[in-house]
Amino acid sequence: MSDKPRVLVVGSIALDTINCPGGRCEEVVGGSATYFSIAASLFAPVSIVAVVGEDFPPEALEMLQSRGIDTTGIATKPGRTFRWAGRYEDDLNAAITENTELGVFADFDPEIPDDARDAEYVFLANINPTLQLSVLEQMNGPRLAALDTMNYWITRTRNELLAVVNRVNALVMNDAEAKMLTGENNLINALHQLVELGPEYAVVKKGEHGAVLVGRDFYFVIPAFPLTFVADPTGAGDSFAGGFMGWLARTDDVSPANLCRAVAYGAAAASFTVEGVSVERLASITLEDVEERLAKLGEMSRF
């Protein structure tokens, strides 16, 4: 294992059925931890904690392992793997869920392997905030912990979510979730409210409109990389988070200037994800590809 600061992600691994501009695909690998780990592995060693059923295809695990991703924290339980089915219509920023089958994910109780508890960068993907807090309590003082969430947890487990939000260094969520959590209709006000909840930083994803990073005393905006065709938006936000956390771990630098650069790397990584269906495009790129796209993004936004 490399001596670089390691990234730990705790989240879902799924089999997705998707109707999207790139076509229909059935039971392809997905889930927040999958997209995150592939993106983050471009930059730094990654460990996953997740659960799959006995029906999960071994070649999908082999694909993760081939990227140097530590999969020893992926538990295989009797039953079926978490499945999600959805489609995209005119608004590619919003998936329409057609069916969810939790399977073994319904009883997910993350247990962090001993050798992953020292990870310095921890990402709590979109799971029950009670489980997110449990993960933090198993860690040995990470340098930076961040979390994602969704409207379901915001509306149904608000107090539990606020408790774990107060324990992390950064929030990573989309603009609708930021407004819902803070009760602010204005995104700028919502951003500043987020950092009043405890975290030092908030990163808000805005899909095709880029992303915003705010700290207690600074503000940064990055545009999305312009694409002429989006095949499948699934996993773009998780890939963004993977690029963001992966860059921080690679550089081991959490200064405001490097956080801004991490957001730019996240935007570049996510732009590849949407060019293919499932993880096929993201899993085919190298760090050099990301660097090249980042340079183009910089040229387009410099004035």
Decide: helix, strand or coil at residue 184. Answer: coil
Query: Average pLDDT by consecutive 10-residue portion of the chain (303 residues)?
Result: 77 94 90 97 97 97 96 97 91 84 96 95 96 97 95 94 97 94 93 94 90 92 92 93 98 96 96 94 96 92 82
pLDDT of residue 5: 72
User: Does 62 reside within a domain?
Assistant: yes
46-53 and 23-30 strand pairing: unpaired
pLDDT of residue 184: 94
pLDDT of residue 95: 82
Q: How far apart are CA 30 and CA 278, in angstroms?
A: 6
Q: How far is CA 99 from CA 102, 125, 254, 293, in A?
A: 10, 20, 39, 35
Partner residues linked to 174 by β-bridges = 205
pLDDT of residue 48: 97
User: Does 302 reside within a domain?
Assistant: no
User: Does 249 reside within a domain?
Assistant: yes
DSSP code at position 143: S
Cβ(68)–Cβ(29) under 8 Å? Answer: no
The amino acid present at 102, given as its one-letter code, is: L
pLDDT of residue 3: 58
Domain count, the chain: 1
CATH number at residue 158: 3.40.1190.20
pLDDT of residue 216: 85
User: Does 267 reside within a domain?
Assistant: yes
Q: How far apart are CA 29 and CA 300, in angstroms?
A: 33
- Residue 236: which of 51, 44, 95 has the closest Cα? 95
What are the DSSP calls for 203-221, one per residue? EEE-GGG-EEEEESS-EEE
Q: How far apart are CA 35 and CA 116, in angstroms?
A: 19
What are the DSSP calls for 112-166, one per residue? --GGGTT-SEEEE-SS-HHHHHHHHHHSS--SEEEE---HHHHHHSHHHHHHHHT
User: Does 2 reside within a domain?
Assistant: no
User: Does 1 reside within a domain?
Assistant: no
Spatial strand order of the sheet with 23-30 comes to 23-30, 14-20, 83-87, 96-101
Locate 269 and state its tokens: 């990584």
User: Does 60 reside within a domain?
Assistant: yes
CB within 8 Å of 108: residues ≥ 6 apart = 12, 50, 51, 127, 131
Q: Give me the domain span that covers residue 30.
A: 7-297
φ and ψ at residue 171, rounded to 5 degrees: -105, 140
- Residue 42: which of 301, 210, 293 has the closest Cα? 293
Q: Is the pTM of this model over 0.85?
A: yes
User: Does 233 reside within a domain?
Assistant: yes
